[in-house]
Structure 1
Amino acid sequence: MTRVGIIGTGAMGRPVVDRLLAAGHEVAAVVRRPEVRDELTAAGVEVVASPAELGRGRDVVLVYVYSDEQAREVTLDSGLLESLEPGALVVVHTTGSPRTVEDIAARGVAVVDAAASGGPASIAAGTLTVFLGGTAEDVERFRPVVEAYASHVEHVGPLGSGQRVKLLNNLLFGAHVQLAVEAARVAESFGLDVAQVARTLHTCSGQSYALDLVAASGSAAALVQGAGPYIRKDVLVARQVAADLGVSLGTMDAATRPLTEL
């Protein structure tokens, strides 16, 4: 049993809590909303009021908030790091800049970046994909925890590597979405049913996950309307990290630029 704390019990973090409890881990969470606090308490979670309080007595602290800015706030500016016991591990699931985990490590804290691919349903089924960046020792300490909710766990390199792999994935997915949008436009110009075309191409060489989502959504517009804010957030972060590192995105630059305006 591992004493796990979690910051972020929303769409992604909540099913993580359920999987951790089912695996026999001791779970505590920072919760402010009364209805969520009551629900988690009833489930057997220790509810605390602040990251600083959460840090005391935990072996591992998971960060699963929405944005990189929030991840920095709840780790670097909250008193969390100062309250951790010696040897405690901070794990950042939130997609963001590799600089965030590097700044946490600079404070003398063991940290793993654990960017993930998949949604709440993947977590609930225990089939999430997670890219881990960090030392081999820290990654192996975290593995018994992450395997409670992820089945595809890959140590991809030193600290920050997990975020870099996830950002590359997001750039590719963003480019695929933009191509799917353009393919839908052309299909309409051809007088074709977009959803039918997307379903038909599922078994063809032009198939992509983005095109499958078009089929499931019924149209490219419906896909962009539903997923647009999330795609935009992740693409913006990926493009900024590439710019900071002086890395050319090549054709992915043109392919993802329209998504920054969603």
Structure 2
Amino acid sequence: MQIVTEKLLNLGVDEDKEINESQLVLLDVKEDEKSEWKALSLNKQLSDARAELFVLLNGVEDKEIQDKIIFNYKALQKFRKKENDKELIVEKEVQIQTHERGDVTIYCDGGCTPNPGKAGSGIAVYRNDKLSELWYGLYEEMGTNNTAELGALYESLLLAKKESENGNTVEIKCDSMYSINCIKTWAISWEKKGWTKKGGEIKNLEIIKLSYHLYNSIKKDITLSHIKAHAGFEGNELADRMTMYTIQEKSESFVKYDKEIIVVDILKMRA
């Protein structure tokens, strides 16, 4: 995110030129407010992508060309995200492979503020009863508690699969009975009925299918159990704080928390 300054505005619109239609949209300024666009824009918060596009559109008067620039920029951003995601997957695999063997407990949680609203997922990993690492991500601008919980459980299953392959004993502790029932109980019937259910559509079907098939492939090697939320379990509380951190950082990718882990300070995030 960037704060809109006079310097940024001057980069996007030359002194002898007028601001164009697409730039007004990027600054969230209405057409009938065009005469005051500078005053209305100063000190606003602007995403990095919007700021870059605002400058790239400097002097472009033709609307079709403006649209083409925006289209190409978004396509490039999607391409970059896919490449970054591939690198993160490789990084995860390397990190997991180098961990010591032992008992691994994975606490997962998802949260949304409000519901529906800004959502994120979090994980806390313990090795031999000691906190080892935290993970966060899967930010949604308009998600739900259920999508966030399912996303956290799916990422936990991915971690559990790798840990199990490395010879570790793995238990996943999830505070969402909805998520657990989706993949351990209800999905069995839904699959038999061609992924349909009586009374309407199955919400969040794509992530449920992924989690269900992944769980079935490793369920003999791991344990998935329910844990009561906010009942004094440190791992559950830390996973909860990682959902908040996701919303704060707006991290769509699911990544490892790379700051120093000071449990007391992280737990204060809710307050």
> Relative contact order (C-alpha < 8 Å, sep 6+): which is higher?
2
- Looking at CA atoms only, which structure, 1 or 2, has the larger radius of gyration? 2
- Fold shared by both chains (TM-score > 0.5): no
Compare the two structures and name the one with the higher helix fraction.
Answer: 1
What's the TM-score, normalizing by structure 2?
0.24
